[in-house]
C-alpha cells in the first residue's frame, strides 16, 4: 500500500549538500529525505528529470522508509574509488579518500576536455590502483569510442568501459569492434523501458544497476536475477546519493548472491558534508546497514524555503505517476 502524500511529507527534509569537486556538472546535490516506519528513504532524482522518470525514485524512497532492506548475504560490500574528470595532478588526492580500495572508476569524455586529458588521468590512476574502469556516460560516437578505448588500453587493461556510447546499437558495434574490452551498460538499462534490451542485443558484458532509478532494492534484485540468467554480472552503483540513499545501495548489493566486481558505492567522498558520518572503509569495503541522519546536520544543510517548496511540489506531481 502506498502511503499518502501527507504521510510522506510529515517527516521529510530537503537538503542542499555541497560537493568537493564538480561531478555530473553540479557542485551542490539536492536531496529529499523521507522518514517512515521502516527508517529513512531518499527521493533525489536529478533536477532535469521529468515527473514520470522521477517516479521510480519515489517508489524507492517509499520502499526504504516503509519496508526496510532485504535479507543480506554479506555484511560488507567491496567498493571502487570514483575519480571525477579532474587533472592528472589531482588524482592522488582523490584516491587518498579511498583507503584499501583496489579498483577505480575514472570519468572520461567530459565536455570541454580532450582525449589526451582522459589518457593522462587514467595513467595517473593506474600508477596507484591496480584495477581501472572508465565511464563515458554515453559521450562518444562509435569511432570516438574505438579510438579512445584503444589508446586507454595501450598501458594496461580496463576492467570495463561503462556506457561508451549512448544507444544500444552503438554499444553492440563498439563491442564487436573491440572484443578485448568489456562493455558495461548503465543508462541503457536504468533509462530504458526494457532494461534487458541491451543484453539481448549483445551490447553489454556487465550491467551497472542503481537502486533509485530502478524503483527500489527489491526491483534491482529482481533485475539482477534476470541478468544472471543471461550470464551478465552486475555492479551496484550510486546515483550520487547521500548516506541515506547509499545505505539502500549497500543493502541491495549485500543481498546479491554473487558479486564479481567492486560496487560504485563509495561516492560519499565526493560530498563535502553528508547527512551522517560516512561508514569507515576497511580493506576497500563498506558495511551494509541502516543510516540515521544527524539532526544537527539536517538543520545545517536544510535547503532554502524556495527549494523546499519546489521539492514538495515535485513530490506531489511525481506521486500521481506511482499508480
Catalytic residue selected from 22, 105, 107, 111:
107
**Percentages helix, strand, coil for the chain, rounded to the nearest 5?**
40, 20, 40
Provide the 10 A C-beta neighbour count for residue 48.
7
Is 105 assigned a catalytic role? no
Instruction: Give pLDDT, residue 92.
Output: 97
Pick the CATH number of 5-68+295-320 from 3.40.1390.10, 3.60.20.10, 3.30.390.10, 3.40.50.300: 3.30.390.10
pLDDT per residue as tens digits for the range 259-306: 999 999 998 888 999 999 878 899 999 999 999 999 999 999 999 999
Residues 6+ away with beta carbon under 8 Å from 43: 31, 32, 33, 34, 54, 57, 58, 60, 61, 311, 315, 318
Q: How far apart are CA 175 and CA 181, in angstroms?
A: 7
Does 76-287 carry CATH code 3.20.20.120? yes
210 is catalytic: yes
Spans of all domains in the chain = 5-68+295-320, 76-287
What local confidence, expressed as pLDDT, does residue 222 receive? 98
Name the binding residues.
135, 162, 186
Please tell me the distance from the alpha carbon of residue 103 to that of residue 281, in angstroms, as a whole number: 13
Among the options 22, 105, 111, 210, which is catalytic?
A: 210
Binding residues for Mg(2+), as ranges, are: 135, 162, 186
pLDDT tens, position by position, for the chain (323 residues)?
899 999 999 999 999 999 987 777 788 999 999 999 999 999 999 999 999 999 999 999 999 999 999 999 999 999 999 999 999 999 999 999 999 999 999 999 999 999 999 999 999 999 999 999 999 999 999 999 999 999 999 999 999 999 999 999 999 999 999 999 999 999 999 888 899 999 999 999 999 999 999 999 999 999 999 999 999 999 999 999 999 999 999 999 999 999 999 999 998 888 999 999 878 899 999 999 999 999 999 999 999 999 999 999 999 999 999 97
Q: What is the pLDDT of residue 268?
A: 86
For 2-31, the pLDDT digits (tens) are 999 999 999 999 999 999 877 777 889 999
Amino acid at each position: 500500500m502506498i502511503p499518502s502524500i501527507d504521510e510522506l511529507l510529515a517527516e521529510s527534509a530537503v537538503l542542499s549538500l555541497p560537493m568537493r569537486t564538480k561531478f555530473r556538472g553540479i557542485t551542490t546535490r539536492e536531496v529529499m529525505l523521507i522518514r517512515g516506519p521502516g527508517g529513512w528513504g531518499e527521493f533525489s532524482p536529478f533536477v532535469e528529470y521529468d515527473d514520470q522518470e522521477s517516479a521510480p525514485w519515489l517508489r524507492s524512497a517509499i520502499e526504504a522508509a516503509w519496508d526496510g532492506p532485504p535479507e543480506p548475504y554479506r555484511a560488507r560490500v567491496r567498493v571502487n574509488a570514483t575519480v571525477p574528470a579532474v587533472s592528472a595532478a589531482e588524482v592522488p588526492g582523490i584516491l587518498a579518500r579511498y583507503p584499501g580500495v583496489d579498483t577505480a572508476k575514472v570519468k572520461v569524455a567530459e565536455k570541454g576536455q580532450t582525449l589526451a586529458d582522459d589518457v593522462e588521468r587514467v595513467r595517473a590512476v593506474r600508477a596507484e590502483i591496480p584495477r581501472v574502469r572508465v565511464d563515458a556516460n554515453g559521450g562518444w560516437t562509435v569511432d570516438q569510442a574505438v579510438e579512445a578505448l584503444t589508446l586507454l588500453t595501450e598501458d594496461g587493461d580496463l576492467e570495463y568501459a561503462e556506457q561508451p556510447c549512448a544507444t544500444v546499437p552503438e554499444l553492440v558495434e563498439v563491442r564487436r569492434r573491440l572484443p578485448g574490452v568489456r562493455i558495461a551498460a548503465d543508462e541503457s538499462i536504468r533509462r530504458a523501458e526494457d532494461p534487458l534490451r541491451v543484453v539481448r542485443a549483445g551490447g553489454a558484458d556487465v550491467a551497472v544497476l542503481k537502486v533509485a532509478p530502478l524503483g527500489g532494492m527489491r526491483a534491482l534484485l529482481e533485475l539482477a536475477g534476470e541478468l544472471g540468467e543471461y550470464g551478465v554480472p552486475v555492479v551496484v552503483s550510486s546515483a550520487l546519493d547521500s548516506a541515506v540513499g547509499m545505505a539502500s545501495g549497500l543493502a541491495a548489493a549485500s543481498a546479491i548472491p554473487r558479486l564479481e566486481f567492486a560496487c560504485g558505492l563509495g561516492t560519499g567522498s565526493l560530498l563535502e558534508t553528508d547527512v551522517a558520518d560516512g561508514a569507515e572503509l576497511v580493506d576497500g569495503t563498506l558495511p551494509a546497514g541502516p543510516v540515521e541522519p544527524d539532526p544537527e546536520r539536517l538543520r545545517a544543510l536544510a535547503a532554502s524555503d524556495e527549494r523546499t517548496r519546489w521539492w514538495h511540489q515535485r513530490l506531489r506531481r511525481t506521486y500521481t505517476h506511482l499508480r
